[in-house]
Structure 1
Amino acid sequence: MQDQGPSPRKRTGGRRRRQNKRKKHQLGRLPTETQLGEPRFRVIETRGNTKKTRALATNVASVADGGDTVEAEIEDVVENPANPNYVRRNIITKGALVETSEGTARVTSRPGQTGQVNAVLVE
């Protein structure tokens, strides 16, 4: 895992030396990569005494069509601009196009962060 923060390189291309050791809060985590399947969740503790619910797998989406929202079943991942490989592996991320029982929808939430899939129908 790589820690977050400024780039280790200067504008000129030279390397910057670290001023201090890496701190625990600077470390990131591996991506969740929510899969299509029977719903599975994991609760992780984050900074500030809060928790995140990560969706490891899900097959349900809240699909918005204009004013009303319907809970629909996800059937397939059609397109994923984040990574073309994710379509073959049926991984759901924000921006992915999914085929639902209501029609084709674009995912607007981050399932690996919020634990739910919110989507908007695509005409």
Structure 2
Amino acid sequence: MRDQGRSTRKRTGGRLRPNHKKKKHELGGEPTETRVGEHKLKRVDKRGNTEKVRAIETDTASVAVDGEVVAADIENVAENGSNPNYARRNIITQGAVIETSEGRARVTSRPGQDGQINAVLVDEA
């Protein structure tokens, strides 16, 4: 199955054959499954002479509480809509609900892409 690029079907339903294979920059990478644990970052080169900072493990989150941002300790992952197994394995992705020292919070950032966890409080402790 192709995730990106041109459709494999015409508007009439006929088949479109691929005119080339994917180039190196068109290939996707392995997902960074950020886990709850001691803070660990990884720098990855990307196109355009820049780099991404991936969070491999982390134990703190910036949680927005009543208009102020508080650094909270992450206890565990309560639920993860993208994959139920992620909650069992304590993997944090965008949209995951985490239990923190401030209460339950929903993750709004992409820790595997930008290396930090920003969250908004859902339930207070």
State the identity %: 63
User: Which is worse superposed, 50-59 or 14-23?
Assistant: 14-23
Distance 1:24 1:4 in 2: 13
Runs (5+) with no aligned partner, structure 1: none
Distance 2:47 2:110 in 1: 19
Checking the alignment, whether the CA contact within 8 Å between 1:3 and 1:22 is kept in structure 2 is no
The equivalences for 1:104-123 within 5 A come to 104-123=104-123
**RMSD between aligned alpha carbons?**
1.6
Distance 2:3 2:45 in 1: 18
SS at match of 1:94: coil
- Deviation digits for residues 64-83 of structure 1, max 9, x if unmatched? 11211110110010010001
Q: Structure 1 segments of 4 or more deviating over 3 A?
A: 9-15
The equivalences for 1:44-55 within 5 A come to 44-55=44-55
Distance 1:70 1:81 in 2: 24
Look up the equivalent residue of 2:91 and give its one-letter code: I
Q: TM-score, normalised by structure 1?
A: 0.90
Residue 10 of structure 1 deviates from its aligned partner by: 3.7
Look up the equivalent residue of 1:98 and give its one-letter code: I
Residue 14 of structure 1 deviates from its aligned partner by: 4.3
Q: TM-score, normalised by structure 2?
A: 0.89
Checking the alignment, whether the CA contact within 8 Å between 1:107 and 1:118 is kept in structure 2 is yes
Distance 1:24 1:52 in 2: 17
- Deviation digits for residues 10-38 of structure 1, max 9, x if unmatched? 45554321223321111111110111111
Residue 3 of structure 1 deviates from its aligned partner by: 6.5
Look up the equivalent residue of 1:86 and give its one-letter code: Y
Distance 2:3 2:49 in 1: 21
Distance 2:88 2:21 in 1: 40
Structure 2 match to 1:95: 95
Distance 2:26 2:112 in 1: 19
